[in-house]
Amino acid sequence: MFDECIVSQLCFYVYVLIDPDTEKPFYVGKGQGNRVFQHVACALETETNTDNYKKIREIQHRGDEVKHLIVRHGLDEGTAYVVESAIIDLCLSLKKLPLMNQVVGHDSRHVGAMTTDEVIRKFRAEPLTCLDKDSLIININKKYTRRAGADDIYKATKGWWRMGLKRPMAKYVLSEYRGLIVEVWEVSGEWESKMMEKTEKREAHLRWGFEGSVAPESVRMRYLNKSVTKKLGAANPIRRNL
């Protein structure tokens, strides 16, 4: 549930309820406060048999939990109606939603599609003020798709990265996605190298990657869900200092 601090900043929003088995939306709505969570509560507390409630009970019965996605927030009520109706029209028109977007929607970084966990993470995020010498940050914006899960965060982070000729010494790697640290990894053993062949656009060069696992909780909690400010003009996805 959202606390009062988050509610006061969300304003009106548009949300989607998703079946975790199929990853397909089954209900689109708009609201404010904790409206996004009320469908599940009502389905379990009442005997009303709308299609929406039946679907929620079906998901709960098989031991799963409904997924909540905040599509847009920070809206006035009129704008929320427009966004809600547009999504409903799209879902009714396209059964499999074969979206081919190459560019994210307007202002997506700030108020675009987020899970409820990501909304909580965003508004509670504290700035990362210290990065230990044995750690580095890797930005995975181009390799990770929001809501894909922990395995995909790891795959997007582990390699292969251009870091020069000297073997990286970092023991811990922080996955940064859209300005937030979304996971922390402990490197197992030494970093591995891979020579990238020469192409028409670039010379042959060395890249580095690692095998690892989620970092110990004491390390993970120092960095997880902290916000990172991008340095002006910085293009390299690798950061060794703040």
Q: Are residues 98 and 156 in the same domain?
A: no
The pLDDT assigned to 215 comes to 97
Residue 37: partners with Cβ closer than 8 Å, 6 or more residues away: 1, 68, 116
Encode pLDDT of 101-159 as tens digits: 334 444 556 666 677 877 877 888 899 999 999 999 999 988 886 656 789 999 999 99
Whether residue 176 is predicted with pLDDT greater than 50 in this model: the reply is yes
Domain that holds residue 221: 135-239
CATH code of residue 151: 2.30.130
Report the alpha-carbon distance of residue 62 to residue 200 in Å, rounded: 53
3-class SS of residue 89 = helix
DSSP state of 47: -
pLDDT, averaged across the chain: 86
Q: Let me know if residue 128 belongs to a domain.
A: no
* Residue 24 within any structural domain of the chain: yes
Q: Does 161 lie in the same domain as 105?
A: no
The sign of the CA dihedral 96, 102, 104, 105 is negative
Could you give the CA distance from residue 213 to residue 187 in angstroms, rounded to a whole number? 7
pLDDT recorded at residue 198: 87
Are 18 and 117 in a shared domain? Answer: yes
Same-domain pairing of 145 and 228:
yes
* Residue 105 or 235, more confident: 235
Q: Summarize pLDDT for 57-85 with one digit per residue, the tens.
A: 999 999 999 999 999 999 999 999 889 88
State the DSSP string of 118-142: HHHHHHHPPBP----TTEEEEE-TT
Residues with Cβ < 8 Å from 143, sequence gap 6 or more? 155, 156, 157
Range 158-176 average pLDDT: 94
Note the pLDDT of residue 92: 65
Quote the pLDDT of residue 102. 36
Tally the domains of the chain. 2
Which residues does 176 contact at the CB level (< 8 Å), separation at least 6?
A: 137, 138, 139, 140, 182, 228, 239
Q: Is 130 within the bounds of a domain?
A: no
Instruction: Decide if pLDDT at 41 tops 80.
Output: yes
Higher pLDDT, 222 or 203: 222
- State the DSSP string of 124-193: HPPBP----TTEEEEE-TTT--TTS-HHHHHHHHSS-B---SSPP--SEEEEEETTEEEEEEEE-SSPEE
Q: Identify the band that residue 178 occupies on the pLDDT scale cut at 50, 70 and 90.
A: confident
The edge-to-edge listing of strands for the beta sheet with 212-214 is 212-214, 180-187, 172-177, 135-139, 238-239
CB-based contacts of 75: which residues, under 8 Å, 6+ apart? 11, 12, 13, 14, 83
Residue 129: inside a domain, yes or no?
no
Largest Cα separation within the chain, whole Å, is 66
Q: Of 98, 123, 148, which residue constitutes the final position of a domain?
A: 123
